[in-house]
Structure 1
């Protein structure tokens, strides 16, 4: 499995990377939306973890641009988990939505669930 993490908080991205690598998944990390989108478009990933609120392009903008060219499963991560944001994520083609704070184990479980359904 090859997974891209797009998360501007280094502490969170490092923690997620450790947990995902424990599953023997190959993990790349980007810290802003623009770099994340470029990486996602230029590489083939099995799944993308995408923070909603980041500098530059936010997660919704990245997802919208990504969907023009690719159908890679995307799980959005956000500190604001309002129903409106969840609906927007699904309308844009997100495969899942995880609210912060979360446990790394919760993220691993969600990834496995999404990958088994795709």
Structure 2
């Protein structure tokens, strides 16, 4: 089963992405902040984490750093409004497999996730 974790503090993004990926046959986990994401990752390691950067408690950069240190096999996609070059570079330095900015194409995101898994 392809399990993915979507981490975002925007309910509309969570709902639309959860619907999209469930429709495509994915098992979807949801976290509303980085702390919740870290707990879920330890409970049931996903194949892919779609991660916002600006979130309460623990930001996406910290979640990515934890993943790349403890779960190198997990693919990380940053999905964020932070589009400055320095943000993209920081994401890549932390080991993100992909860096997408909002607004985004759900079709493109779905295709990218499928490509990372296969």
Question: In the alignment, which residue of structure 2 is the partner of 1:84?
Answer: 86
Partners of 1:65 and 1:44 lie apart in 2 by 13
Other-structure match for 1:20 = 21
1:65-99 per-position Cα deviation (integer Å, ceiling 9, x unaligned): 22221111010011021111111111111110110
Partner of 2:61: 60
RMSD: 1.0
Which residue, 103, 106, 116 being the options, matches 2:105?
103
Provide the TM-score with structure 1 as the length reference.
0.93
Instruction: Give structure 1 regions of 4+ aligned residues with deviation exceeding 2 angstroms.
Output: none
- For residues 101 and 85 of structure 1, the distance between their equivalents in structure 2, rounded to whole angstroms, comes to 16
How many residue pairs get aligned? The number is 116
Q: Could you tell me which runs of 5 or more consecutive residues in structure 2 were left unpaired when the two chains were aligned.
A: none
- Where does structure 1 lack aligned partners over 5 or more consecutive residues? none
Q: TM-score, normalised by structure 2?
A: 0.93
